[in-house]
Structure 1
Amino acid sequence: MNKITREKGQFKVVGTRDKRPDGIDKVTGRAQYGADLVVPGMLTGAILRSPHAHATINSIDTSEAEALPGVKAVVTRADFAALDDADMIDIADNCLARDKVLYHGHAVAGVAAKDAQTARKALKLIKVDYTPLPHVTDVDAAMKPGAPVVQSGRQEENVQSEHSENVTGYCEFGHGDVEAGFAKADHI
Structure 2
Amino acid sequence: GFWFNRGGETSTSMNIAPDGSVTIITGTADVAGSRISIAMMAAEELGIDVDKVRITMADTNSLGFNRVTAGSRTTYSVGMTVVDNARQCIDQFVKRAAEIWDVPEDAVVYENGECRPAGANVGNFEPLTIADITKQTTMSHGAVTASASMNVTGAGPGFGLHIVDAKVDEETGRTDITRYTVVEDAGKAIHPLQVEGQYQGGAVQGIGWALNEEYVYGEDGRLQNASFLDYRMPVTSDVPMIDTVIVEVPNPRHPFGLRGVGEVPVVPTMAAIGNAIGNAIGVRPQSLPMSPPKLLEIIDNRNS
Normalising TM by the smaller chain, what interval? Answer: under 0.3
Which is strand-richer, 1 or 2?
Answer: 2
**TM-score, L = length of structure 1:** 0.24
**TM-score, L = length of structure 2:** 0.17
Which is helix-richer, 1 or 2?
Answer: 2
